[in-house]
Amino acid sequence: MSRKKKSSKKARFWENSTDKEKAEAAKAKHWAREWLDALIWAAIAAIILRTFFFGAYRIPTPSMEKTLLTGDFLIVTKLAYGPRTPMTLSVPFTDIYMPGVNLPWFRIPGYSEIQRDDIVVFNYPIDIAPVSVKTNYIKRAVGMPGDDLRIDNKILYVNGEQSEQFETLMYNYRVTTADRARLSPTRVREAGGNLLNGNNGEYIINMTPELAEDMADWSEVTSVGKYILPEDFDLFNRRGFNFGSGFKNHDHMEEFTVPYSGQEVELSRDNWHLYQDILERYERNSVRRDGDNFTINGEETNRYTIQKDYYFMMGDNRDDSEDSRYWGFVPDDHIIGKAGIIYFSWDGERWLPRFNRILNLIH
């Protein structure tokens, strides 16, 4: 059929259509346009809320137990510390971004500063990617810019004083039992502990200090004490982190200062592990080192002024958390927001919601 005949046939169809049919067609077109407009505005509102106000995150690992459990879904407020304006060109709600395009950005002032022991969401610093698309991590901010930290037999000291010991902190404990007595894995699990291994009357259990105290009264138990690695046990160097290479393991760390903006440091081969990622990765300097001699951006000098504030993050499950003890400090531009509330929680072992955790505030 020719185009002319098709056009005339279409014209005759509309001429023969009733007013009611025409009205229905117009109504359907108007309805579709309204829905499209609503979807577009909803998407814009969601992008604005996600960028500047709130984020939703899921806890994938046990590194924050018992404070946060695997399967907890969180609302994180970006308003607390101030939201960042977009840093890259990316597809909304995806991890797709345009490589090589970094936008000028700034942080909008928030209603508070990071406080020591806040639970903070941040971008994993040593990821190889633009800051805003790095993996999201959540830990407790135990060290503020300028704090002096050390770890002695698992205990964290901040500015010479023992840090706050929350009830939800977890450690590995060595538990011994009487001859021919054994611990029931079911009883340990139901009490809230995680039996890691054990034989010949000696067990390693991941649990809270409160449970450790209670377990010491169990009839089959003869002793309970924190499982502390020997000072010379080299754990960090096996993992290949720059920061951790200057220490042996997470149970013993000599005192160091959390870097802060304006701090002048004197670099040496002995402290280079503290500052290497800061100079080369986060503050983007060109550095060559020959023993204790440094060349920074073409200038021979071993003195450097820190440009940003940094934080030291640790998981509440202190023996099952890969955190700042391994990979070092978190720059202030990597901070996303403060964990606020658990809006849902899913127990992956029992395949049931944890109703008692829904809408719990996070402390």
CATH of the domain at 136: 2.10.109.10
Query: What Å distances lie between residue 283 and 99, 107, 277, 333, CA to CA?
Result: 19, 17, 8, 11
Query: The tokens 């009205």 sit on which residue?
Result: 23
- The model's pLDDT over 146-199, given as tens digits with 9 standing for 90+, comes to 999 999 999 999 999 999 889 999 999 999 999 888 898 999 999 999 999 888
pLDDT confidence of 278, banded at 50, 70, 90? very high
Amino acid letter at 345?
S
Q: Above pLDDT 90, what percent of the chain? A: 65
Beta-strand pair 155-158/148-152: antiparallel
69 and 127 together in one domain = yes
139 and 199 together in one domain = no
Q: H-helix or E-strand containing 224? A: strand 221-226
pLDDT confidence of 80, banded at 50, 70, 90? very high
- The model's pLDDT over 296-319, given as tens digits with 9 standing for 90+, comes to 999 999 999 999 999 999 999 999
Mean pLDDT: which of 52-61, 208-217, 230-239, 343-352 is highest? 208-217
The answer to whether residue 158 sits within a structural domain is no
- Residue 212: domain span: 171-226
Arithmetic mean of pLDDT over the chain? 88
The answer to whether residue 153 sits within a structural domain is no
64 and 142 together in one domain = yes
118 and 134 together in one domain = yes
The answer to whether residue 11 sits within a structural domain is no
- The model's pLDDT over 136-146, given as tens digits with 9 standing for 90+, comes to 999 999 999 99
The answer to whether residue 278 sits within a structural domain is no
Q: Lowest-confidence range among 229-243, 276-290, 318-332?
A: 229-243
Residue 264 has pLDDT above 80, yes or no: yes
The answer to whether residue 44 sits within a structural domain is yes
Question: For residues 123 and 249, what is the distance between their CA atoms, to the nearest angstrom?
Answer: 24
pLDDT score recorded for residue 294: 96
The answer to whether residue 251 sits within a structural domain is no
Q: How many CB atoms are located within 10 Å of the residue 290 CB?
A: 9
The answer to whether residue 297 sits within a structural domain is no
Q: What is the CATH number of the domain that holds 181?
A: 3.30.70.80
Number of domains observed in the structure of the chain: 3
The answer to whether residue 277 sits within a structural domain is no
